[in-house]
Chain A
Amino acid sequence: MLAYILRRLWQMVPTLFGVMLLLFILFNWVGGDPSYILAGKSFSAETLANIRHQLGLDKSLPEQFLIFVQQVLTLDFGTSWSTQQPVADILGSRIGPSLTLALPMLLVSLLLSVIIAAIVAYVRGSLTDRLVTLICTLAMSVSALVYIIAGQYWLAHKLGWFPILGWSDSLATNLWLYVPLPLLLGLVVSLAPDIRFYRSCFVEEMNHDYVRTARAKGLSEQVIMLKHVMRNALIPVVTSLMMSLPYLFLGALLLERFFGIPGMGNEVLNAVDRSDFPVIKAITIYVALATMLFNLLADIVYKLIDPRVQLK
């Protein structure tokens, strides 16, 4: 196992290098020139040249890439080009609010969707199953933006059950006052596709021969579902979960914008809008690292769930 982990970690190096190269090329190709934002609305060629010099944009591309490599090795991405704030401070202050919303959303969504999916898979073909499938299909066909706009309008404005928006320095205040509505709307958006997907996983497993054999052996439906079907069906669930974990760091853009949550989602958008390459670099690298690490974690969890899985 240790050898496998070490090998996978080593394999991350070229992958990360590829991500860096791709990001660097893309930014220099379509990322926009931030010096034209910083210079203001009227400026001289000297001012522009000074800004480019200070940002290091007058260096050759290989030199700029080498600086990028150094930044990744030290995980020090310097300061934001647009606000001059240290990138580490920016990300440090953004990650907390994003996780405060996204983590409970992920956990509650996972729990609810797995339970509902297991139940409807168990009663597949019944009216309940068809009704849930229909509701899920309808729910999936509505844009997330509609839920957010309608939810905020009705639940916060018309009914006054929640504040329209806001964020506090206190975690407790956030969890009981500001998170519930975006959390609820986030769940509404994410539950339907998750239930559909997990239901398919369960149904597929329940159609396998080993389930029939288990029944023939006289095992109870409860044991078959929880001990046999669940274990095998969990592998795609774990895959889906692990794939979504890195995106927790990116936050929920729309929810953050509509509910005034100072998370990563808005920061990403602003950074792209302002061609703020240090912030873009840092976020991309951290998300790439998180994706690779969670993929590795997913493989390890497969092994824990099903000992038959061989890690090679």
Chain B
Amino acid sequence: MMKKRILVATIAALAATGAQAADMNKVLRVAFNVPETGFDPAKVSDTYSGAILENVFDPLVTYDYLARPAKVIPNTTVALPTVSADGKVYTFKLKPGIYFAPDAAFKGQKRELTAADYAYSIKRHLDPTINSPWSFLVDGRFAGVDALVKAAGKGALNYDTQVEGIRVLDKYTLQLTLNEGNYNFLQILAMPAFGAVAREAIEAYASNTNAKPVGTGPYTLKEWKPGNKIILEANPNFRKLVINGQTLPKVGRVEVSIIEEEQPLWLAFVNQQLDISGIPQAALQEALVIDPKNPLNVKLQDKYAKQGIQLERKKDLEITYQFFNMQDPVVGGDAKEKIALRRAIAMAFPRNETIAAIRRGQAVPVHYVIPEGVAGHNPAFKGAVKYDPAAANALLDRFGYKVGADGLRTQPDGKPLSIEMATGTSGIDKQWNEYWQKAFDSLKIRLTFKYGKWNELNKANRQNKLQMWGLAWGADYPDGENFMQLLYGKNAGDANSANFKNAEYDRLFEASLQLPDGAERNKLYDAMNKIVVAQQPWIFGDTRIRSSLAHRYVKNFKLHPLLNTTWRYIDLQK
């Protein structure tokens, strides 16, 4: 709260000097630790590309930079949309006078943003020739659009066909009609992937839309060296955006370096070659004083605090989990002995040790399918099993998993018991594997690892060939539905990696979709979590806590739970 007040006060104080346009002499230098893939909102889904999209394109709505919990506010619209009584029809009124960044595709003309641009941009996610990684968020959602998609077959969508679900009422009015009411719809539309593109720009650069993003956002792509450097410059056509008296953006140029190794990333920040940076795992002890009794209690090391370096922390809106393939004959199924096996494995895994050793204490255990900070989370619900290898062994004994002559357990029917866990090949994967091996050894169960790249393991999982695998799910939008759907039966083989199918869970999930965020829906979520605890399709993992640093001269530095970047709000006063 105090930080927020200081930030607002700072913004107000700066505002007293008068609103100003972006200063092209101010260069913000930041880094990604994973390479981006491109900048077409309908073609990329990685976080890092999304961070650039956020600055180049404008979705209809966005998040308030300062409000916590995250709050959707109008972005290019004059107000939040009007919504029909049945929650199906959303009508958006765009602000006139918003222009795309200058581009050759516009042939020297200033190009105004219209409702048709949003209609086109949303339809692109449904175009079979684009294969948008976000199509799952819009598929089957808009009235009458399915027929349009079906008519396209494997070809391009006919964008000129008017459909009931996505209608342009006039130049500035867009009406979206949903098949079913959806309480998360605005949050979905706030995602960078739903920023407006201009059809003529997309068509002009059809062969390489990833390299030619043209939007109405505060920045425009000046230079892109894939996997090495991304340079953004303030969009000269950017509308007058005044927040707390300040005209945004403040910084004229943003230089993003891709630095995949931890040491150069950290040293580049310390040596002021970067203005803002996350703290790599290897540098946590160097940067922070971590209270050994409570590792979440941290402060900057004195030498950095004295330099005026600012520390911001946020709990990711994510969960990690190890799933069991519920269709697998050894670890899956509803039978009591199968549940006991899954429960015993969960009880033998030293989660707190992995948080201390691998996460360096910078994570909290997951107890609920929905993480903290996401609507529907219940902090009082403790769903994770307690670490207790002795009780786990007793459980296995009780359900007939006998220890054979070779010192390893067999299945209750006497068949050998061997479990294969999918894993990557990185150094961090090896660390995790050591703990899993230790857990399985303590249970006297043979464990083997199936190594592979993420895409290969994903393929194997969709082909029902995996028994166990660890995954993470980050919030696409801050609503419990985005997490609870991970175990919805109809999503089995897709987002529901565990292939979990439980009629009661599905019934509750479908009922929850009819409710807004609130006590009534939370009751359903609690009931669903109880099913998850009882059936144990997952072993709950952890939620990571990120620490970010900024140098003294970086002003308005504040992390947002959902926005990947806040560059437009940042000022530099060296």
Contacts and interface: CB of A to CB of B under 8 A. Distances in A.
A41 B495 contact: yes
A165 B273 contact: yes
A157 B271 contact: yes
B209 interface: yes
A231 B458 CA distance: 58
A41 B456 contact: no
A153 B263 CA distance: 8
A167 B267 contact: no
Contact of A40 (B38, B134, B452, B473): B134
B227 interface: yes
Contacts of A200: none
Interface residues of A, number: 47
Nearest to A36: B455
B227 A85 contact: no
B222 to A, nearest CB: 12
Contact of B38 (A84, A86, A166): A84
Nearest to B127: A50
A224 interface: no
A257 B456 contact: no
A237 B414 CA distance: 65
Given A50-B128, A167-B228, A262-B228, A41 B268 contact: no
Contacts of A34: 455
A262 B208 CA distance: 21
Interface residues of B toward A: which range?
Answer: 35 or more
Contacts of A36: 455-456, 458-459, 462
A266 B473 CA distance: 27
A32 interface: yes
Interface in B365-383: none
Interface in B462-506: 462, 473, 491, 494-495
A85 B210 CA distance: 8
B129 interface: yes
A152 B226 CA distance: 24
Interface string A12-49: 00000000000000000000111011111111101100
Given A262-B225, A270-B35, 10 more contacts: A37-B454, A54-B131, A84-B210, A149-B263, A156-B271, A157-B270, A164-B264, A166-B257, A166-B273, A257-B260
22 contacts: A32-B452, A33-B455, A33-B459, A36-B455, A37-B455, A38-B133, A41-B473, A41-B495, A42-B491, A43-B133, A43-B135, A44-B135, A79-B207, A79-B208, A84-B38, A164-B267, A164-B271, A164-B273, A259-B264, A260-B259, A266-B227, A270-B35
Interface of B: 35, 37-38, 43, 45, 128-129, 131-136, 139, 154, 207-211, 225-229, 257-261, 263-264, 267-268, 270-271, 273, 452-456, 458-459, 462, 473, 491, 494-495
Interface of A: 32-34, 36-44, 46-47, 50-51, 53-54, 79, 82-86, 90, 93, 149, 152-153, 156-157, 160, 163-167, 257-260, 262, 266-267, 270, 273, 275
